[in-house]
Chain A
Amino acid sequence: MQITLPNLAQFINDLIKAGRPVVAPVKENNLSVYKPVNAFNEIHLGLPFPTKSAKEYFLADCEKILFYKFGPAGKVELQDADNPKELILFGVRPCEAVSYPIMDKVFSWDTHDNFYLKRREKNPVISVACEKCDNFCFCTSVGVTPQTTEGSDIFLQKTKKGNYLVDAITDKGKKLVEEHKNLFTQSGHEELIDFKGPEIKFDLKKIKSWLEKNFDHPLWEKISLPCIGCGICTFLCPNCHCFDIVDQANLKEGSRCKMWDACQFRTFTVHASGHNPRETQSKRFRQRIEHKFNYYPDKFGRTLCVGCGRCIRHCPTNMSLLETLIKIDKL
């Protein structure tokens, strides 16, 4: 199947007109941000990459999980949180799309976090194959390519003639296409824009086996010195998912909220006694790398990194996860 650019615009505009919110990258000043759009022409698919990932549309940065009212005589009345509303994510990159099935693992093992999972179930992801990358991209080193379709419900790939090859992958994706089938035509077998992505820069297996053996390596302290523990790497990361649970209330009523948190903060692990198992920034830095490239793969079978490069692009002290991994690879 394929779709012309005008028809793709109509597809998105029709969805919006039908009252289905569409979230897509929009250029604001020099940045690109994911936000709800009113029309296709607001959408910006090229570089720069959206600064933040779109994970907040699945794992909300502040998710109300409970409401309550204070009654007389110390009584409390609970009210359920609202069900997440449906939205369509358009124009995400393959590396972001693949981050969702990776994160699904933690939210669905053992018990199910439905705040996240219901959104995953409802919200279709329409991704577009990459045509360009920048110096911070390293998807190919962690097993993702500019044409990875995993995690996408509909996958679009531009042809050299400027049309888009359409791959409706899941039932959710097929349903969307079916609802607007007059806009799609049979594939004309047009030649695709062939983009290989960044070259492979390290050996993931080698990284993991080094991490298994070198928890106490002097490298950790040396390499983490510039880190100021601001945690921006974790907030921008499409796969970092740690959260806090906090209450907010007045004398009458209140709510409980799941909020993003980060292993890079000193207070993240501090015990009630004051003892902190990760009292220095180097230990917190090590946790981020070990968790992504060693612990998570062991527990859930996937590397918790898709090589999007956000943590490098926006680090205020110019620290580079990629350089760290290359350094480890060469040890």
Chain B
Amino acid sequence: MSSQAKEDSTSTPPFAIEYSAVTVRFPETLAVDALELSIPSSRTTALIGPSGCGKTTLLRLAVGLQNATSGAVRVLGQPLEATTLDQLRHSIGYVVQEGGLFPHLSCADNVALVAEHLGWTRERVRARTSELCELVQLSEELMQRAPGELSGGQRQRVGLMRALFLDPELLLFDEPLAALDPMVRAELQDDLKKIFARLEKSVLLVTHDLAEAGYLADDIILMRAGRVVQRGGLREMLEQPVEPFVTEFVSAQRGARDLLAEAQQ
């Protein structure tokens, strides 16, 4: 996958997200343990690991939905501060399972919510909606419907449109495809891969599916108990595991092995 940085934008920092000595402690557990981690710009990175390993917490830290117990998080070169957080969030697209769409608004209103707040004209909103419909392969007629009237895959595409609407620099995905059936899922994975390649955004993707991570991401971060166990490509994890847990985790994922076997043929 192409990884050339945008040459015209000199302001793009080398790292989209930087975690410095970040610890997040919940009453019962230590979700993130003194973590040092940088997520590169203009590439797709996947966070993977068993439930409770802290991957979702890392994603939530990046958009200010979770505060660090200690340590600092910088996003797009800026520290997360209450006064500038909303501004910064306009440069972040956040996608959750099923799209996290608001059931009382039409899909069109869901995607244009922030743009309307920022005073975009109706024409500009309409043009951007059409453009994105084409990008995510969704019929424009569906946009007038309520999210409840769409299929799970269609909702996920609308969720992606909402995240992309302001053309953000950073995209965060929290298990975006987990709730979809396999056919729809495969189709969306293909589409996402094309979209990532075309837009060259910084993408951080949380998934529990190693095959999906390997397919979509340039770089995979395997986590366990709030720490990074291994970072690299899918092949590296299979061939040079740093500890037995990596092999254990990988062998549990039939899809990943098949994928690799396929690649090796």
Do A and B associate with each other? no
